[in-house]
């Protein structure tokens, strides 16, 4: 029977023969090789990696370079001629690849060949001499060690790497034409390339808003890649002349600044959809990300067969992508309507119309276009139910009618089809932060959003984005991660007092130093004495330290600011204010806050309702009733880390702590939180978010 090794050798030889038959075809890549050998693309990637220790694209490139070297040795071709004969459309890229492969440029091969031959001969002689001195029993052991090393260095890392998504940024394409009116076409091709790549599950694609800031930015590719935390960067430039489109696309490996792909595309406008698909496919092939058949189908799908309709759509999209002013946004709608008139099955145009109507009124209490959003969203879904924009537009129908839970499945389905879609992630973060509060889901979508949208905003906005993520982390018990993100928040905006006092609490979670926490909050309040949030936080810490006089003074400052601005916030603090007043003999004042707290506790509907009622009955001396509500709270599975940290410190629980079973109940609360924390950690790790 043939051995596995001989089968691999035959397989590699067959691949080499196919590649050499297509050696001058610059379009011949991974997919074409998979088709010729009769294998799926993903199986080919795995088998070549295992058999040769290199990627498929590197395997093809090496064969091209080896054939080039042979031509340069034995033929009278120039470097430029050889470049084209072995499938390199760019001579400079060929020279770069040749130098990296052989260590010298192709033009000096004659100078280096004798040296190489001497080196080979010397090495061969040295090996023979050393082999004579090696005991015969060492050789089998050496073989085992070498095989193990090969598995470790070539096979295992390859498999592990397949589980980690690749990452890429598609920089804004440059319009090379003197006619600025063609910008929307070049931008449209860039947008389409980005959208098609976003539809690949195993590829993290940076959002358009994040890359847009680099349109006129002089930073180098390694600098941009570091800021965006990506493996690859795509640059593009092009122009439209008559019915011809000329594009130059470069794919650059961020770590080495090496060009993996440098290709010129020239097509007619009639081939614009095939052009967009080819660009996305060539990029995906070069970085060897696995594309499922369903993803491939979506990449190749044309949005419309009517080029005039598509042209109108791109004009509207240019407005939608580049303005936030509602009146300016309305100018996109006539273009989308024109696209629909030209093709009444154009799902993307229907969806864009619905999204535009929603965004125009996003900050208004009453919506005039709610019915229009519904009409165009339904049309979009009817003509393409798998289009992410169709699903988003339908979700926005429910958002417009405040039916937030009904929006969720549509957003989630859109993410299935387009895992890196920043617009969906933005809406999901907003949903779980403000309308359907859920720390776990908020954290998941905020982190996913940060992966694809790391540099889209100004420093102040980024500071608050990192603040929210840090706060969600610490609420879930992740002290190290919370500290990392709160420091990023303060790096963006050192004057962000929210971040300053949240950091004080994060540090306390690590060292439990109440005096340090109090001093940090005092410094923050001294910077702005009108901050009622910091005043009540400082009062709360004094309360936990049993310094009731200081707590009362800070609570008075908090109440004065609260009344002056007419805000109804922090109703849960009334319990602590009542207890503080009782300790200072201010019973009448305490009763007023206690009654207010009772009303809040009975009418609130949250995970903390039973804990709030426990606090109320502890304050009124009904220990038995207080304990019964504490036991009910112990059934909760999801609550903030602050509960675990500060519940044992509550001064009103002095009598409650004497109840038999109190320690067991508190231990159960802590265990429930720890289980939630561990489950969340496992979930975030599985999704490569921590």
Residue 156, in any domain of the structure: no
- The set of residues, in sequence order, having a beta carbon less than 8 Å from that of 555 and lying 6+ positions away, is 535, 536, 539, 573, 576, 577, 580
- The region of weakest confidence among 212-221, 223-232, 550-559 is 212-221
Residue 171, in any domain of the structure: yes
Q: Tell me: do 568 and 663 sit in the same domain.
A: yes
Q: Write phi, then psi, for 137 (nearest 5 degrees).
A: -75, -15
Residue 432, in any domain of the structure: no
- Highest mean pLDDT (candidates 75-79, 222-226, 362-366): 222-226
Angle at 221 between CA 215 and CA 226, to 5 degrees: 105
pLDDT digits (tens, 9 = 90+) for 65-74: 999 888 888 7
Mean pLDDT, the chain, integer: 85
Burial category of 673 from C-beta neighbours within 10 Å (exposed 0-12, middle 13-18, buried 19 and up): buried
Q: Tell me: do 529 and 550 sit in the same domain.
A: yes
Check which CATH number belongs to the domain holding 286 and give it: 3.40.50.10070
Neighbours of 677 (CB within 10 A): 15
pLDDT of residue 56: 84
- The region of weakest confidence among 56-65, 109-118, 512-521 is 109-118
Average pLDDT over residues 85-107: 78
pLDDT of residue 164: 53
Give the burial string for 361-389 (b: 16+ CB within 10 Å, else e): beeeeebebbebbbbbbbbbbebbebbbb
Average pLDDT over residues 265-284: 90
- The answer, yes or no, to whether residue 6 has pLDDT greater than 70, is no
More confident site: 174 or 30: 174
pLDDT of residue 4: 52
Average pLDDT over residues 676-690: 88
Residue 160, in any domain of the structure: no
Q: Tell me: do 173 and 257 sit in the same domain.
A: yes
Q: Tell me: do 32 and 56 sit in the same domain.
A: yes
- In angstroms, rounded to a whole number, what is the distance separating the alpha carbons of residues 184 and 311? 9
DSSP 648: G
Q: What is the dihedral of CA 339, 385, 443, 163, to 10 degrees?
A: -110
- The answer, yes or no, to whether residue 127 has pLDDT greater than 60, is no
pLDDT of residue 37: 86
With cut-offs at 50, 70 and 90, classify the pLDDT of residue 81. Answer: confident
- The answer, yes or no, to whether residue 181 has pLDDT greater than 80, is no
- In angstroms, rounded to a whole number, what is the distance separating the alpha carbons of residues 501 and 489? 12
Residue 144, in any domain of the structure: no
pLDDT of residue 507: 97
Percent share of the chain, pLDDT over 90: 48
Q: Write phi, then psi, for 344 (nearest 5 degrees).
A: -80, 10
- The set of residues, in sequence order, having a beta carbon less than 8 Å from that of 124 and lying 6+ positions away, is none
The number of domains in the chain is 4
Q: Tell me: do 182 and 58 sit in the same domain.
A: no
Radius of gyration, CA atoms only, the chain? 32
Bridge partners for 250 per DSSP: 235, 262
Percent share of the chain, pLDDT over 70: 90
Burial category of 182 from C-beta neighbours within 10 Å (exposed 0-12, middle 13-18, buried 19 and up): middle
pLDDT digits (tens, 9 = 90+) for 315-363: 999 999 888 788 999 999 999 999 999 999 999 999 999 999 999 987 7
Q: Tell me: do 519 and 412 sit in the same domain.
A: no
Q: Write phi, then psi, for 90 (nearest 5 degrees).
A: -115, 120
Q: Tell me: do 526 and 660 sit in the same domain.
A: yes
pLDDT of residue 141: 35
Average pLDDT over residues 159-187: 76
With cut-offs at 50, 70 and 90, classify the pLDDT of residue 527. Answer: very high
- The set of residues, in sequence order, having a beta carbon less than 8 Å from that of 598 and lying 6+ positions away, is 616
Residue 650, in any domain of the structure: yes
- The answer, yes or no, to whether residue 424 has pLDDT greater than 70, is yes
Average pLDDT over residues 427-445: 85
**Helix 41-52 to helix 56-74 angle, to the nearest 10 degrees?**
60
More confident site: 520 or 25: 520
- In angstroms, rounded to a whole number, what is the distance separating the alpha carbons of residues 174 and 263? 15
Neighbours of 248 (CB within 10 A): 18
- In angstroms, rounded to a whole number, what is the distance separating the alpha carbons of residues 688 and 155? 21
- The answer, yes or no, to whether residue 537 has pLDDT greater than 50, is yes
Bridge partners for 241 per DSSP: 244
pLDDT of residue 477: 94
Check which CATH number belongs to the domain holding 338 and give it: 1.25.40.10
With cut-offs at 50, 70 and 90, classify the pLDDT of residue 90. Answer: low
Q: Tell me: do 499 and 609 sit in the same domain.
A: yes
More confident site: 161 or 238: 238
- In angstroms, rounded to a whole number, what is the distance separating the alpha carbons of residues 353 and 369? 11
With cut-offs at 50, 70 and 90, classify the pLDDT of residue 136. Answer: very low
Token pair 């599975």 is found at: 637
Domain that holds residue 379: 307-418
More confident site: 409 or 568: 409
Q: Tell me: do 495 and 629 sit in the same domain.
A: yes
Q: Tell me: do 314 and 286 sit in the same domain.
A: no
Residue 77, in any domain of the structure: yes
Return the H-helix or E-strand segment holding 166. Answer: strand 166-170
CA nearest to 54, candidates 65, 42, 62, 66: 62
Check which CATH number belongs to the domain holding 64 and give it: 1.10.10.60
Contact predicate 252/235, CB 8 Å: yes
- The answer, yes or no, to whether residue 116 has pLDDT greater than 60, is no
pLDDT digits (tens, 9 = 90+) for 288-324: 887 888 888 888 889 999 999 999 999 999 999 888 7
- In angstroms, rounded to a whole number, what is the distance separating the alpha carbons of residues 202 and 274? 23
Residue 138, in any domain of the structure: no
CA nearest to 176, candidates 272, 111, 246: 246
More confident site: 474 or 462: 474
Return the H-helix or E-strand segment holding 664. Answer: helix 662-686
């Amino acid at each position: 029977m043939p051995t596995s090794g001989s089968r691999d050798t035959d397989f590699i030889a067959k691949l080499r023969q196919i590649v050499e038959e297509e050696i001058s075809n610059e379009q011949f890549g991974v997919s074409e090789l998979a088709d010729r050998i009769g294998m799926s693309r993903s199986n080919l990637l795995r088998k070549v990696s295992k058999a040769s220790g290199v990627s498929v694209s590197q395997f093809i490139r090496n064969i091209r370079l080896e054939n080039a070297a042979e031509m340069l040795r034995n033929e009278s071709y120039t470097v430029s001629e050889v470049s084209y004969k072995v499938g390199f459309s760019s001579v400079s890229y060929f020279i770069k690849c040749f130098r990296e492969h052989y260590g010298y440029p192709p033009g000096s091969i004659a100078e280096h060949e004798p040296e190489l031959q001497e080196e080979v001969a010397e090495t061969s002689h040295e090996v023979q001499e050393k082999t004579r001195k090696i005991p015969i029993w060492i050789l089998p052991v050496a073989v085992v060690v070498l095989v193990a090393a090969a598995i470790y260095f070539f096979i295992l890392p390859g498999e592990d790497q397949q589980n980690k998504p690749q990452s890429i940024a598609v920089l804004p394409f440059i319009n090379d034409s003197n006619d600025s009116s063609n910008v929307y076409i070049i931008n449209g091709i860039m947008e389409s390339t980005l959208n098609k790549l976003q539809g690949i599950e195993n590829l993290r694609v940076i959002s358009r808003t994040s890359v847009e800031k680099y349109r006129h930015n002089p930073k180098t590719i390694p600098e941009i890649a570091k800021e965006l935390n990506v493996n690859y960067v795509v640059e593009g430039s092009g122009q439209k002349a008559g019915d011809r489109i000329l594009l130059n696309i470069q794919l650059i490996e961020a770590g080495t600044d090496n060009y993996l792909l440098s290709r010129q595309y020239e097509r007619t406008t009639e081939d614009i959809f095939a052009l967009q698909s080819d660009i996305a496919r060539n990029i995906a092939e070069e970085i060897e990300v696995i594309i499922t058949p369903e993803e491939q189908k979506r990449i190749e799908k044309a949005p419309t067969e009517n080029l005039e309709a598509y042209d109108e759509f791109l004009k509207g999209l240019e407005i939608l992508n580049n303005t936030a002013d509602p009146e300016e946004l309305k100018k996109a709608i006539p273009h989308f309507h024109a696209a629909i008139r030209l093709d009444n099955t154009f799902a993307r145009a229907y969806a864009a119309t619905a999204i535009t109507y929603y965004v125009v009124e996003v900050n208004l209490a009453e919506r005039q276009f709610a019915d229009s959003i519904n009409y165009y969203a339904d049309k979009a879904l009817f003509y393409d139910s798998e289009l992410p924009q169709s699903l988003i537009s339908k979700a926005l129908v429910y958002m417009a009618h405040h039916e937030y839970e009904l929006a969720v499945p549509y957003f989630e389905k859109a993410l299935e089809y387009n895992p890196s879609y920043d617009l969906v992630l933005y809406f999901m973060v907003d949903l779980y932060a403000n309308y359907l509060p859920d720390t776990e889901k908020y954290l998941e979508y905020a982190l996913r959003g940060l992966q694809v949208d790391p540099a889209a905003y100004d420093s102040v906005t980024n500071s608050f984005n990192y603040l929210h993520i840090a706060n969600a982390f610490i609420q879930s018990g992740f002290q190290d991660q919370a500290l990392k993100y709160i420091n990023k928040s303060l790096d963006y905006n050192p004057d962000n007092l929210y971040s300053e006092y949240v950091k004080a609490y994060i540090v306390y979670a690590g060292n439990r130093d109440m005096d340090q926490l109090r001093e940090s909050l005092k410094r923050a309040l001294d910077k702005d004495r009108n901050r009622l949030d910091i005043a009540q936080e400082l009062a709360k810490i004094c309360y936990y330290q049993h310094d009731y006089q200081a707590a009362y003074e800070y609570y008075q400052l908090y109440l004065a600011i609260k009344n002056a601005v007419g805000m109804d916030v922090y109703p849960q603090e009334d319990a602590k204010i009542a207890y503080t007043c009782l300790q200072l003999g201010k019973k009448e004042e305490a009763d007023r806050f206690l009654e207010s707290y009772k009303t809040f506790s009975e009418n609130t509907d949250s995970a903390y309702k039973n804990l709030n009622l426990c606090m109320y009955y502890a304050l009124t001396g009904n220990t038995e009733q207080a304990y019964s509500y504490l036991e009910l709270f112990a059934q909760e599975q999801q609550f903030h880390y602050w509960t675990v940290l500060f519940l044992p410190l509550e001064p009103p629980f002095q009598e409650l702590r004497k109840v038999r079973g109190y320690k067991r109940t508190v231990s159960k609360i802590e265990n429930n939180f720890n289980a939630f924390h561990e489950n969340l950690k496992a979930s975030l790790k599985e999704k490569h978010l921590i």
